[in-house]
Chains A and B, each alone.
Chain A
Amino acid sequence: DAGITQSPRHKVTETGTPVTLRCHQTENHRYMYWYRQDPGHGLRLIHYSYGVKDTDKGEVSDGYSVSRSKTEDFLLTLESATSSQTSVYFCAISDAPGTASGTDTQYFGPGTRLTVL
């Protein structure tokens, strides 16, 4: 978890309200990812970013949007939260392939537990 923080760590909200989760890194890594973790599904990719203002959809992007206005921060927004979005959300970072770190290994933050009532 070193170099990656997520806030808040826990949140309870009501259906229909907007929610924003924040991921902050101090590693200056190019790539950032948002996953959700649900029982029986492992981790599924929601959105990712390959640079400032550059984002793309993952496997389960419906109902989510993201923004990356600077290298260190990647925000995940649920415009109108639904009960199906109750989950644990993980942020991950990785460096670009071919750089000194070598691989495209992803390093994970501690997670945010979101409950939508």
Chain B
Amino acid sequence: GEDVEQSLFLSVREGDSSVINCTYTDSSSTYLYWYKQEPGAGLQLLTYIFSNMDMKQDQRLTVLLNKKDKHLSLRIADTQTGDSAIYFCAESLLSGSARQLTFGSGTQLTVLP
């Protein structure tokens, strides 16, 4: 079965880099996603990576994928206070009649001034 795991909390100083890690178990995942959730809001898509890629960079965000170890990471460069939020990783799998997302429990990122 699918299981996505993340550490629950991460604190960094403003201006430092943040690295949020995620492990997943199903090697048939096609896409892996990172979503951001601010308090009281829905999930905002940050970025995604296709399973045949190793790395994807999008401005301050870098996603690294290690398929052998089933490990996904999100690096945020020059972390700002506005980056404080919960970050969810998710894997996409075909199940039933649709592709379904399985989410981790989320990592609460706190950016300290």
By a CB distance below 8 angstroms, the chain B residues around A33 are: 100
Interchain CB contact under 8 A, A110 and B31:
no
Report which of B30, B99, B103 forms a contact with A42, defined as CB distance below 8 A. Answer: B103
- Of the stretches A13-21, A64-72, A74-82, A100-108, the one at the interface is A100-108
Interchain CB contact under 8 A, A90 and B43:
yes
Q: How far is the CA of A57 from the CA of B95 in the complex (A)?
A: 10
Q: Which residue of B lies closest to A55 (CB)?
A: B97
Report which of A50, A57, A106 forms a contact with B101, defined as CB distance below 8 A. Answer: A106
Interchain CB contact under 8 A, B42 and A43:
no
Q: Which residue of B lies closest to A38 (CB)?
A: B105
Q: Which residues of A contact B (CB under 8 A)?
A: 1, 31, 33, 40-45, 48, 50, 54, 56-58, 90, 92, 94, 97, 103-111
Q: Which residues of B contact A (CB under 8 A)?
A: 4, 30-31, 33, 35, 41-45, 48, 50, 88, 92, 96-101, 103-106
Given contacts A57-B96, A104-B30, A108-B35, 18 further A-B contacts (CB under 8 A): A1-B42, A43-B103, A45-B101, A50-B97, A50-B98, A54-B97, A58-B100, A97-B99, A103-B31, A103-B50, A104-B31, A105-B31, A105-B33, A108-B42, A108-B43, A109-B42, A110-B41, A111-B42
